[in-house]
Amino acid sequence: MKNTFDAIFEQAQDAFLSYKYLSGKKKAGFLNEIGNGLERIKTKLIPLASSESNLPEGRITGELGRTVGQIRLFEKLIEEGSWVEATIDHGDPKRTPAPKPDIRRMLSPLGPVVVFGASNFPLAFSTAGGDTISALAAGCPVIYKAHPAHPKTSNLVAEVIFEALSVSGLPEGIFTHVEGGIPEGQKLVKHPTAKAVAFTGSYYGGMALFELAYQREEPIPVFAEMGSINPVFAFKNKLEKELDNLARSYAASLTLGAGQFCTNPGLIFIPKTYAKQFSQAVQSELNEVVAAPMLHEGIAKSYYAALDQFQQRQELDWIKVSEKKDLEHLKLA
């Protein structure tokens, strides 16, 4: 008896055998249906994504525009066709001292791709985000692993993709929506039918998936955008002229999106002669920042756990901005 994952991948592989030969025009039509579907449900989708992620509706509105824009971009690309990079090097049987062979090459789809959704982008890097759409545009079925931070949003977008498949007359196995935790994600990556993995998230999560993919009997590529420390170096001539402005910009970047953006500056290096003055300026700016809920409870718990670990390190100097009890509303309500 087949398990659930075997059935999912068998269905995806069966769909791949026909989908990979689908014309660019027909694939573009399928993507167009997805884009149109997202625009039709935006009045329902935007508040839902906002409520699940704690991101403001203005941010979600912009992210929806980005998501649909990505879809439209791939529509044009695959219909135009140059992305396959078709190359023909004609042979010459009369060439001496040896005949020149006829050599032809082009890019072709790999097979089923496992895509992991991101927590901080419930639309643009999730169910119908760039990873999913690029794989579908290339002719690869997608097995999408939903992020637990915004399950209702993910399911609603998945329904749009299912409807687009139906309207386009395409096999259901071209897109599969999977929910679950770490064990389910690991099984997807290790399944022998999977041909590639796409991931947006933490460094540790991405490297764990990379190791799984590398240890397979047939290693597969992992396309990962992972977390970063993003160090910043401030130099004397800048600090002499714009110390307060730099402190203001640093604090704003540090706390953007409750500090959850991938561009968050994790380290800043300041010449020792300016360290105290800069620290005081940053402290002043941070005291003015209004606290906000985090994306989901898991991130909030990780934040407080890391904070407790750092506070136990005696060699670190701490700037007191607020009492921890005053930050409790950062947790998911």
Any idea which residues carry the catalytic annotation?
225, 262
Instruction: Specify whether the CB–CB gap between 197 and 220 falls below 8 A.
Output: yes
Amino acid identity of residue 137, one-letter, is A
Report d(CA 15, CA 27) in Å as an integer.
13
Among 96, 89, 165, 95, which residue's Cα sits nearest to residue 132? 165
Give the pairing type, strands 113-116 and 196-201.
parallel
Among 152, 148, 177, which residue's Cα sits nearest to residue 162? 177
Q: List Cα–Cα distances, 252 to 48, 51, 284, in angstroms.
A: 27, 24, 12
Among 313, 302, 330, 304, which residue's Cα sits nearest to residue 204? 302
Report d(CA 263, CA 265) in Å as an integer.
6
